[in-house]
Amino acid sequence: MSDRRFLSVSEAAEIVLGRVRPSSGAELVPLSKANGRVLATDMFARIANPPVDGYGIGKDDIHRPAPYALRMIGKISAGDDPSTMKISGGTTIRLATGAAVPSSVAGIVMEEHGSSDGGTTTILRGASPSENIRRRGEDVASGGIIAQRGTTLDARHIAMLAAVGVE
């Protein structure tokens, strides 16, 4: 017989944990390599989510069966004053990502469901009232915290970080 004594699980854990030292530094990695990594700092949204992108249609056209054509009267980009444009029956406006929505817009047709030649927009699939109209930052406001320091990243964190402009 040997005089060797086996360590208990708690004794072995104490020895191992006594030798573990925290990492002395952090590194930047692309989101594609971030799964399973631990955040060294809080992560904040660079842009609001969800964005807005499509064709604004008014109450007179919201219930029309698609396809139908509307006259394009302009475009509103992020930062533009939406009160400068008002749509009425038979007209539409192009709403760029991040644009404020004018009060005359009853619904937004997603860009994929319409086509425009500059003067005329063909609505291929209509929108119901309030469809695709989101409040800026409805999911997360620009500057809102996405994940806190010490969080072990997984697919849901990585997807949200990508959606708000973090690379």
pLDDT at 137: 63
Instruction: Say how many domains are in the chain.
Output: 2
Helix (H/G/I), strand (E/B), else coil: 31: helix
Domain that holds residue 97: 54-123
Q: Are residues 115 and 72 in the same domain?
A: yes
Phi-psi region of 29 (alpha: psi -120 to 50; beta: other; left: phi over 0): beta
Q: Is residue 45 part of a domain?
A: yes
Digit-coded pLDDT (tens) for 38-82 = 998 888 877 666 666 789 999 999 889 999 999 999 999 878 888
Same domain? For 61 and 90 the reply is: yes
Predicted local confidence at residue 122, as pLDDT: 93
Q: Are residues 156 and 144 in the same domain?
A: yes
Give the count of beta carbons closer than 10 Å to the beta carbon of residue 24.
5
pLDDT of residue 73: 94
User: Same domain for 101 and 152?
Assistant: no
Q: What is the pLDDT of residue 8?
A: 92
Q: What is the predicted pLDDT for the residue at 90?
A: 94
DSSP category for residue 158 = H
> How many C-beta atoms lie closer than 10 Å to residue 71's C-beta?
11
Predicted confidence at residue 15, as pLDDT, reads 92
Largest CA distance in the chain: 96
Indicate whether 63 and 36 sit together in one domain. Answer: no
Q: Is residue 141 domain-resident?
A: yes
Determine, yes or no, domain membership for 116.
Answer: yes
> Three-state DSSP class for 69?
strand
Same domain, 67 and 42: no
Cβ contacts of 145 within 8 Å, gap of 6 or more: 42, 43, 44, 45
For the chain, list residues with pLDDT below 70.
1-3, 47-52, 131, 133-139, 141
